[in-house]
Each structure stands twice: as structure tokens, then as C-alpha cells.
Amino acid sequence: MTASAAAARRAVGESARAAVPPSAVGEWRPSPARPDPVALLEEQATTRVKDLVPVRYGRMLVSPFTFYRGAALPMAADLASVPVSGIRTQLCGDAHLSNFGLFGSPERDLVFDINDFDETLPGPWEWDVLRLATSVVIAARSRGFDEHQGRHALHAAVRSYQTRMHEYAAMRSIEVYYAKVDATDVLASVGARSRAYLETTIKSAAHHDALHELPKLTEVTGGVRRIIDRPPIITHPANLTFTLAEHALTRYRDSIQEDRRVLLDRYSLVDTAMKVVGVGSVGLLALVALLDGGDGVDPLFLQAKQAEASVLERFLGPSAEAHHGQRIVTGQRRLQATSDILLGWTSGDHDLHVYVRQLQDEKAGAVIEVMTPEDLAAWAELCAWALARGHARSGEPASIAAYLGTDDEFAHAVGRFATTYADVNQRDFEALGAAAASGRVVAEAGV
């Protein structure tokens, strides 16, 4: 990049900062005409497996944090009214604390990155930052931390995003592309008081792979290995409307790189089962597929998950990819430093859009319920680092960095927004609880 090009990109951010100061996001307040959040959730339910919708509501009603995990659509409706810089990047679309974690790279290194892309779409970079920051405040409240501890974790996240974005802005573009956050970097970046939590998480990730999952997920009956039914989480329903049939596998095979097709061809499909996943995704079809390399001890687990339109599309316009499995895969490859080697997409019966990835590949995520204040601050800082790297890789870091500046104006504004929105989320959580109590919706707890 020439000096003149770098100056031009910085000028974009400086001009945007003058037009819409970073403090503007802190002035946001919910509109009196704000849509009913329960109605938005009910709207989403119309395209989901009917019997699983009560499970989704039940999981959302566990706590304000689990509600927030499932409430990407209500928040997207609110974010559409937030003043932003106009600088765009590829959005994760659902950047909260539980959608980041560790997983194995193709080189078998453990890396820290975003791990959920169902809502990914190009859009204002601020939307991801605001969703992440708000999740920090809600998590701090759910743990019973005092206001100072929550504010410390929040500011750690925003400062991390700001600092890392300036670092990426100073790099050559190809250096940004190669940049990653590996386990060594993770441990080196945190203080002694939060290192034990992260060391435990790293150790957990290293023990989650197909061989470790084989005896947990499968059993041999009559000489044939099958996925174990664990109703209602894992089942073999007789009326399953989507399977990884030959045509679906063929299209999936075509979506992955050629050398990885050679690898996939060494495996044969043994069994598939339906699996209930996540919080916000509950009700979307998700399959676990067991494949084997031929001798019964070479397992490969794939997860095929239904892909709908991103909740952001009604506010940012339709995706450039007509196939939503492809939209998710494209966004993931743009944002992640390194993606699952078997990440791809396909279509099932009735033109159901699906994306496919390995089910277990050295993965580990946040356990909010056991975090100390120091753990929360460290995890939030890592999430913001990974988010900044993804935004820098898929967008223009010099423009974002120039908009952010080096002062605390943006951090303070995000703090005000996140506090305000945590209150909004609490009211929305209570509204869903009231809807369940009145019989407007059915919530099934404990599943």
C-alpha cells in the first residue's frame, strides 16, 4: 500500500469521525415505537421446527444472558437506529461472548477466534462491537459482579478492539491476512489471575476431537455403529425432512477445496441423527453425521445445519449470496484466520439451505457461569482482539482506526450504550417470561 493510499484510507475514517462523532452511539435510546420483542421471536418461530420452539423459549428464559444469545433479531432492529460511521466490514452478526472460542487449525495449532456465523453479512463494524460490549455487561450482571467490575471488563474489551485495530492498520494487508490469535498468544496476553481459567479451557479444547467423541456419541449394536439417541437432544425421527442423501453430499463435496474432496472421498456415511443445538438456533434443522474411513476406528463427525436469511438482511439489504449456506461459509472464511478444512454448503429436500462443518475439532468456548471478574475481563479482551482481527481482515483497518482515534471517546460511548441496552434486554427477558406465564408462548425448561 502506497503512502498516498494509506493516507486516503485514514482520511475516510477522519471524515466519518467529524461527521458522526464516536460519542454518538452513547446517545442512543430505544424508540417509543420499538417493535414488540416477543412478536419478533414469534415471527422467527414460524419457519422453525414447531416442536422445538418451546425448547428455544425455555433456554432463553434461563437468564437474561441466555435470552440475549437468542435475541439477535430484536437487537438488530434496535441497531438499525444507532448513529454509525458508514464504514463497513464483514459482520459476524452475533458477536457475543459465547460465540468466540478455541478450535484446531489445519496445522493442528489451537487458535482463538469467532465461532458462529449464522447471521454474518457486510455492514457497519460498530454493530458487532456494540453486541459484544453489551454481552459483557449482561454477563457481569448475571454473575453478580458489581458495577465497577462490569465496567472494567467492558472497557477492557473496547480498549482491546481499539488497540488491535491500530496495530492492524499499521500492517501490510498480507500481514493482516496471515495474523491469528493462537493459544500461546492467549496465555501471554492475560494476567496471572485469569491464566488458570484459560489454561483449563485450552486443555479442554485439546480433548475434543472425533476419537474422543466416538464412545460418547455412538454405540455398536449388532456389529453396526450408530449414533446414540439421547432424547430430546439427539434423535432419529421417522419424519426427518432432511438427510445427507447422495445429491446433498455431492453438492457439499463440490463446495470444498479440491484437495479436501480427496480426503472426504475416503469416508463413507454410516448414520445421521437430528441434534438440538445452541440457543438462538434451536428450531433450525441440525444433523449429526457419522462417517467412517473403513475400519470402524477412523471416525469423522460432520454437522449439517439449516441456514436461513441473516436477521441483519431486513435492515442492511439481501445477501450477495442467494444460498444462505454459501453466505455463512463466505462470511466465515472472510472473518476467521483459519477455517475448518471441511467447511462447505449444500441443499437438501425442498431446497433447504445448509452449511456443513466438523462437529468436534478441538473446540472449547466460554463458561460464563464459572468466571471470576478477572476471567470475564480477560475473555472479553480476547473476543475483542479476535473481532478486530476479523474486521481488519475483511474491511479497511486504517479507516476504522482513524475513526476510533486514540482517546477514550468511543469506549465511554460504548459503555453508555451497553448499559442502556442491558436494561432493554432485561425488560425484553421479562416480557418473554410474562408471555410464557400468560400462555402466549410455550416454554419448555430444562432441555
pLDDT tens-digit series, residues 110-134:
889 999 999 999 999 999 999 999 9
Instruction: Determine the pLDDT at residue 4.
Output: 80
Instruction: Describe the strand order of the beta sheet including 299-306 as a list of residue ranges.
Output: 234-235, 268-275, 286-292, 299-306, 353-358, 344-347
Percent of the chain with pLDDT over 70: 95
Least confident of 153-162, 227-236, 431-440: 227-236
SS (H, E, C) 163-199: HHHHHHHCCCHHHHHHCCCEHHHHHHHCCHHHHHHHH
Interstrand relation of 299-306 and 344-347 (parallel, antiparallel or unpaired): unpaired
Q: Cα separation of 289 and 152, whole Å? A: 43
Q: Are 331 and 320 in contact (CB under 8 A)?
A: no
Is pLDDT of 266 > 70? yes
CB 36 within 8 A of CB 426: no
Q: What is the mean pLDDT of the chain?
A: 91
Q: What's the rounded Cα separation, in Å, for the pair 81 and 92?
A: 19
The reported pLDDT for the residue numbered 252 is 93
The percentage of the chain sitting over the pLDDT mark of 90, rounded to a whole number, equals 67
Taking residues 285-292, what's their average pLDDT? Answer: 90
Residue 198 pLDDT grade (very low, low, confident, very high; cuts 50, 70, 90): confident
> Pick the residue with more confidence: 57 or 202?
57
Question: Do the strands 286-292 and 299-306 form a parallel or antiparallel pair, or are they unpaired?
Answer: antiparallel
217 vs 77, residue with greater confidence: 77
Mean pLDDT for the stretch of residues 47-60 = 92
Angle, to 10 degrees, between the axis of helix 37-45 and the axis of helix 409-438? 70
- What is the predicted pLDDT for the residue at 182? 86
CA 228, 231, 210 angle in degrees (round to 5)? Answer: 35
Report the C-alpha gap between 381 and 112 in whole angstroms. 12
Q: Could you tell me the residue ranges of all domains in the chain? A: 3-206+364-438, 210-358
Helix (H, G, I), strand (E, B) or coil at 308: coil
pLDDT of residue 138: 98
Please state the rounded mean pLDDT for residues 403-426: 97
Q: What is the pLDDT of residue 240?
A: 67
What value does the mean pLDDT take over residues 329-357?
92
Q: Reduced to 3 states, what is the DSSP secondary structure of residue 223?
A: coil
pLDDT of amino acid 1: 55
How far is Cα of residue 263 from the mean position of the Cα atoms in its chain?
27
Where residue 317 falls (left for φ over 0; alpha for ψ -120 to 50; beta otherwise) is left
Q: Which run of H or of E encompasses 73?
A: helix 72-79
Predicted confidence (pLDDT) at residue 72 exceeds the cutoff of 70 = yes
Confidence band (pLDDT; 50, 70, 90) for 440? very high
User: ∠ at Cα 233 (227, 239), nearest 5°?
Assistant: 75
Residue 38 has pLDDT above 60, yes or no: yes
Task: Provide CB contacts within 8 A for 153, sequence distance 6+.
Answer: 136, 139, 140, 145, 373, 376, 377, 380
Residue 363 reports pLDDT greater than 80: no
Continuous segment of H or E residues that includes residue 218: strand 218-221
Of the candidate ranges 50-64, 177-191, 328-342, 349-363, the one whose mean pLDDT is the lowest: 349-363
Do β-strands 364-365 and 100-104 pair in parallel, antiparallel, or remain unpaired? Answer: antiparallel
What is the structure's pLDDT at 298?
86
Cis ω on the peptide bond leading into residue 37 (within 30° of 0)? Answer: no
pLDDT per residue over 142-185, tens digit each? Answer: 999 999 999 999 999 999 999 999 999 999 999 999 999 888 88
Tell me what the mean pLDDT of segment 375-402 comes to: 97
Residues of 344-375 as b/e, b for ≥16 C-beta within 10 angstroms?
bbbbbeeebbbbbbbbbbbbbbbebeebebbb
Please give the grid coordinates belonging to residue 442: 410455550
Least confident of 170-179, 329-338, 350-359, 395-404: 350-359
Q: How many separate helices (H) and strands (E) can be counted in the chain?
A: 18, 13
For range 78-85, the mean pLDDT: 98
> Is pLDDT of 204 > 90?
no
The pLDDT confidence band at residue 365, using thresholds 50, 70 and 90, is: confident
pLDDT, residue 105, reads: 76
Residue appearing with cell numbers 443445538: 277
Instruction: Quote the pLDDT of residue 360.
Output: 65
